[in-house]
Amino acid sequence: VVKRFGVLYDDPIVELKNLKQIGSVQTYQEAFEALLNRVDLLELVAMSMFMGGLKPDVGTPIRMFQATTLSETYGLARMQEATNTILKPRYNTPLLPTPKQSTTTYVSKAVTTPVKSNSVGQSSGYVTKNGVHKPYRLTQRELEDKRAKGQCFYCDQKHPPNQKDAIQSMVKELMDLGVIRASQSPFSSPIVIVKKKDGTWRMCIDYRHINKSIVKDKFPIPVVEELIDELNGSVVFSKLNLSKNLEEHYDHLAQVLQVMKDNTFYAKRTQCYFAVPQVEYLGHIILAQGLSTDPSKKEGMQKWPIPSTLKQLRGFLGLTGYYRRFIIDYASISQPLVVLTKKDVFKWNPLAELAYYKLKKAMVKALVLALPNFEQEFVVENDASGKGIGAVLCQNGHPIAYWSKTLSANTKPYQPMRKNFWQ
């Protein structure tokens, strides 16, 4: 009968269960919705059936996001497909040879199994004997051998007890959310724990050793100066958006929050600020009058002890150098300290100590800089001396940024006029 007259009836639910993605997510979604409109299913059931028909490289990753609506699931699938399209050409060919795994021994990744002890050889793994799995720990020699072969094994990494508790808690949370999973790879990277402003910990992974062997994606990120230069005229601020007037600000903020909602992104409420007259941003205080240094950073510089090691000196110069646009003649003031950073030169002396205190004093007196208005005229004032050159960018009589540079032995003999043009 079927051969002569065709199918007498169809079952859309069976067709939904058997429907699989062959082409694009969009094509699969259209076919899925056409069948879904013919049945009455709970949304959670429909979501499960939709994800079950996706290609594994699309369906598997999006499950970790735990979408709550069918539309969210559609959006996640399209985003994952776009991500796969971008990454696939780069990683079709293995960049590294696949590590040869022993049939009897394997080691699990340190980050998925936080250790309890501080002893050497903390790699948690198993050895198989007579079909029975028993715990196995790498010796110090085995660890060093793996590092020598470029396998980045750092399972003997030590952390203070309070950090270890935080690591275990964060790893468990990430495991429960499906963000990470257990691994038997011989490659491992050390954990770095950083304390946040609210007192909690942020877990970071040091991938420098692995990054030496992979092709890096290039995503140009604007530097802080470029971002701040766009804020002229702003009077109401938010950590999520900045705008020129209250109505426009709220409109932009609503758009950002909607995008976050559509893509299931979450923000930490304690670190969000909305419609405030000033906001802290990357170590700066941004307000309607302009840009100033973060008072907490100033306080940190004032409490900074006299450097007794090269590392401490570099840390001090790194912190003050971040704010050099606020300081007149920064290069000349810091020069005695910069000299000490050269190889085998570090030796604290009265000249360096004088520069150290002058730099601290200059930071305390740092001015509020104006935000640039690119529709108005800029003025550059410059000057040169026997040791260095300096300049200030101004607008309407208000400084926007200071710049300075010390002169090399070859340029010091230049006449003042030539020095001014040289910069």
Whether residue 189 contacts residue 205, with contact meaning beta carbons closer than 8 Å, is answered with yes
What's phi and psi for 157, nearest 5 deg?
A: -65, 140
In this model, does residue 238 exceed pLDDT 80?
Answer: no
Q: Which helix (H) or strand (E) holds 359?
A: helix 350-364
Query: Strand order in 388-395's β-sheet?
Result: 379-384, 388-395, 398-406
Determine the average pLDDT of the residues in 360-375: 87
**Predicted confidence (pLDDT) at residue 304 exceeds the cutoff of 70:** yes
Residue range 295-406, CATH number: 3.30.70.270
| Highest-scoring range by mean pLDDT, 79-88, 235-244, 307-316 | 307-316
Q: Is the pLDDT of residue 361 over 80?
A: yes
Mean pLDDT of 210-220: 70
Structure tokens at 203: 């877990």
Amino acid at 69: T
115, 124 in Cβ contact below 8 A?
Answer: yes
**Sequence letter at residue 124:** S
Q: How confident is the model at residue 357 (pLDDT cuts 50, 70, 90)?
A: very high
Report d(CA 274, CA 294) in Å as an integer: 19
Angle made by CA atoms 128, 132, 134, in degrees to the nearest 5 = 65
* 113, 126 Cβ separation under 8 angstroms: no
> What is the average pLDDT value for the chain, to the nearest integer?
75
Q: What is the pLDDT averaged over residues 44-54?
A: 89
Count CB atoms within 10 A of the CB of residue 174.
16
Looking at residue 352, its pLDDT comes to: 92
What pLDDT score was predicted for residue 90?
46
Closest CA to 256 of 271, 244, 274, 283: 274
Name the β-bridge partners of 336. Answer: none
By C-alpha distance, which of 150, 163, 149 is closest to 118?
Answer: 163
Mean pLDDT of 135-152: 67
Predicted TM-score (pTM) of the model is 0.48
Output the DSSP codes for 156-168. T----HHHHHHHH
Give the pLDDT of residue 145. 77
Model confidence at 121: pLDDT above 50: no
Query: pLDDT class for 334, splitting at 50, 70, 90?
Result: very high
Give the pLDDT of residue 394.
93
Cβ neighbours around 283 below 10 Å, total: 13
| pLDDT average, residue stretch 213-234 | 71
Tell me the C-alpha distance between 78 and 382, whole Å.
54
Superfamily, domain 150-213: HIV Type 1 Reverse Transcriptase, subunit A, domain 1 (3.10.10.10)
Integer angstrom CA distances of residue 223 from 226, 277, 295, 370: 5, 23, 21, 18
Question: Taking residues 68-87, what's their average pLDDT?
Answer: 82
Kindly state the average pLDDT of the residues 341-357: 90
CATH 1.10.1200 fits 12-87, yes or no: yes
Span 204-225, average pLDDT: 73
Q: Cα(235)–Cα(249) distance, rounded to whole angstroms?
A: 10
Q: Which helix (H) or strand (E) holds 125?
A: strand 125-129
End-to-end CA distance of the chain: 92
pLDDT score for 36: 87
Q: Which residues of 198-210 are buried (b: 16+ CB within 10 A; e: fewer)?
A: eeebebeeeeebb
Q: At what angle do helices 43-53 and 25-36 cross, to 10 degrees?
A: 140
Residue-level pLDDT at 419? 52
Note whether 328 and 403 are within 8 A (CB): no
How do residues 284-296 score in pLDDT, each as one tens digit?
888 888 889 888 8
pLDDT digits (tens, 9 = 90+) for 374-419: 888 999 988 887 778 889 999 998 999 999 988 876 766 565 555 5
Would you kindly state where each structural domain of the chain is located, as residue ranges?
Answer: 12-87, 150-213, 224-288, 295-406
DSSP 25: H
pLDDT at residue 305 above 50?
Answer: yes
